[in-house]
Structures are given as C-alpha cells and as structure tokens.
Amino acid sequence: MSPFFSESAWLCLAASAVLGGMLLYRSKSPGQLWSQVLCLAGLWGGICLLGLSLLCSLLLLSLSCFLLCMCSSDQEFLPVDQKAVLVTGADSGFGHGLAKHLDKLGFTVFAGVLDAKGSGAEELRKTCSERLSVLQMDVTKLEQIKDAHSKVMEKTQDKGLWAVVNNAGIFHFPIDGELIPMTCYKKCMAVNFFGAVEVTKAFLPLLRKSKGRLVNVSSMGGKVPIQMMAAYCSTKAALTMFSSIIRQELCKWGVKVVIIQPGGFQTSISGTPDIWNKMEKETLDHLSQETCDDYGQDYIHTQKNYFQKMKDHSYPDISPVIGDIQHAISSRNPSSFYFPGRLTHLWICFTSCFPTGLVDYILQKCFAPKHMPRALRISS
C-alpha cells in the first residue's frame, strides 16, 4: 500500500467520522438517528458487496454522510413570533398536550375539539393563555370545518396560519378484520383519513400563503400490519400515503409536509370500559350466525383484554410525540418522518426490509391473540 493511498484512506475515514458525528448531533429524535444509522449501514454493506477498494468505499461513505448532513433535520428553530397553529383532536391525548405546550411556547393556538363543552376543552380554557382559542370542530362535519376556518381567518387576519396538525383519530374494538362491522371501518375512515383530508383541503390555501407546515399524525400501524387493528391500521396507511404524495406536490409552494408515526403511548383513544362494552355489543350484533358459531362469543369477549394489554405495553410519557411535533412545526429544516416511541422505527424498518414470511412469523409471535376461535379449538 502506497503512502498516498494510506493517507487518503485515513483522510476519508476521518471525514466520515466527522460527518457521522454531525449527523448524531443534528438528530432530534431516536427515530431520525436510527434512520440515518440504518441508511449508512445499508450503504456500507452495499459498497462491501461491490468489492470496491478501501479508498473508493470511504470516499462514497464520506459523500453519503455529507449528503445526509445537508438533507437531515437540524436543531435550528424558527422564531415563534406568535405563529398560529391549528391542532385537531385537542380534547385529550397528543392534541391536548400539544395545544398546551405550544401555548406555553408563545404560539397562537387554535384547538379543534369534538366537544367544545367537554372537560378537555374547559381545561384548555382555564390553564392556557388568551392566545389559545377552542374551536368546535368535528372533522367529519364539513360545516364545522368551514366555521373553524372562518374563525381562524378572522383572528389571524394578515398574520396568516403557520401550521396545521391533523391529530384527530379514533380506535375500534380490537378483533379480527372479518368480525369488525362495516360501520366501524367507515367511522375510522371518516375520522382518521377523510377528516384529515377535509381539514387539509380547507386550510391549505392559508398554508400556501405562509409557506408553512402540514403535520399529519399517523401511526406505526400505518406501516406495521398489527393483528386485531385492521380498520385503524388501514386508515393510518391511507393517511401516510396521502401525506407522502402531497409532500411532493406542495414542495413547489414552499409548504413542508411531515408525517408523525408514533408507537404505543397511553392516551384515551382506546376509550373507557363502558365504550368497550358498547363496541363489543356492536360487533356481536353485526355477525351472521355462522360466523358467530365459528368464532364463539367467548372469543370476542376475551378481546376486551387487548385494551388492557395495549395500556400495559404503552409508554405513559407522551412528551416524545409532543417534542417531535414541535420540531416539525418549528425547525427550519424538519424531517419528513418522525418515529417517536420505543423500537418504533426498528419495527417499521423490519416490516419494510425483511422477507414477508419472516415478518409474518415474528408478528404472529408478538401480536397474535392467545385465545383461539371456537371452531379451531374444537377441531384441534
């Protein structure tokens, strides 16, 4: 090995280390960090398979680190300047916490709620500043969206609207896709997808004027096929694809579109025991006799335990989600995707990159219900 080659190789290695360090520094969340590390690891593996020389390999790796540094999100925040942000689904959960957090930071917040007289709305009025406005906003009702739009226009006037956070969402009774009533599929689609699209279409003219941000809260379930969640995951997959398409379409207007894909966090989206009983009854009422005999009522009844399982395996601190949404709103150069939650990004990468047979096997082991349908128990 010539001295020149050796010095060049060491120089490229040093450049890679410096650029890699910059990537680690600029990473806002573990999701972004894992994304960048996996990209570099995959690239390095591909380079090794090509059998290139050490110098060429390090040159390519250095160039890749440089491009990732240029394109990755950073910690430089834009000034708040009382920028106006609309948050849907602010009655509870992520939306409620986000509305409070943004208000403390000095944003003008429009908190869209399902029930303007509910406890969540009242708490926002009591604990937040006068910059926060509570808006009655059922995202499935176009007249309420239009009314909210008029109130936002009236209050912001020349200041404009900086960001829209489509957070409103609902869950359903966790059961096999065959057993989920069509009414549940339609309700989930109406809120989780069509509602977000309707709000987006109504407020996009304001975002185009401000060259602002559209932040859509999807889910890990939009990428990972989790059993018992067919309706919910399908709507989140639709929202993720919609967001990915309009991200490309809106870039010419200077509007940045961001997708948040949280893992498991403890929120009130799953409802209360009374709501679980109501959803169970709705499920049973829509079953044919043949299907009910095959699965058995006891199988359906035990699925209520899934709600408790979700709670036990969910993270109680929602601050990672709030922090990522804030970064998406405020960063000069936000990421296109955020993955708050433990192992969230690893699950998404696993289901995207590995063979389907292996993915199905692992998901069966992790998410399949322990209780078997009646007909399968009898046959075995």
In the beta sheet, which residues pair with residue 134? 111
CA dihedral 108, 111, 116, 117 (to 10 degrees): -80
Q: How far apart are CA 377 and CA 380, in angstroms?
A: 5
Q: Are 230 and 354 in contact (CB under 8 A)?
A: no
C-alpha–C-alpha distance, residues 116 and 221, integer Å: 29
In whole angstroms, give the CA distance from residue 179 to residue 275: 17
Nearest Cα residue to 95 out of 269, 232, 352: 269
The span from the CA of 336 to the CA of 60, in Å, is 24
Q: What is the DSSP letter of 87?
A: E
Q: Give the HSE-up count for residue 104: Cα atoms under 13 Å, Cβ half-sphere.
A: 10
For 261-346, strand residue ranges (E) read 337-338
- Whether 232 sits among the annotated catalytic residues: the reply is yes
How many residues can be counted in the chain? 380
Q: Tokens 């300047």 correspond to what residue?
A: 81
Which residue in the list 232, 299, 306, 338 is annotated as catalytic? 232
Angle at CA 111, nearest 5°, toward 107 and 115?
165
Q: Which helix (H) or strand (E) holds 112?
A: strand 108-113
> What's the first-to-final CA gap in the chain, in angstroms?
67
Question: Would you state the structure tokens that stand for residue 31, as one six-digit string?
Answer: 């999701």
Coil/strand/helix, residue 85: strand
Catalytic site positions:
232
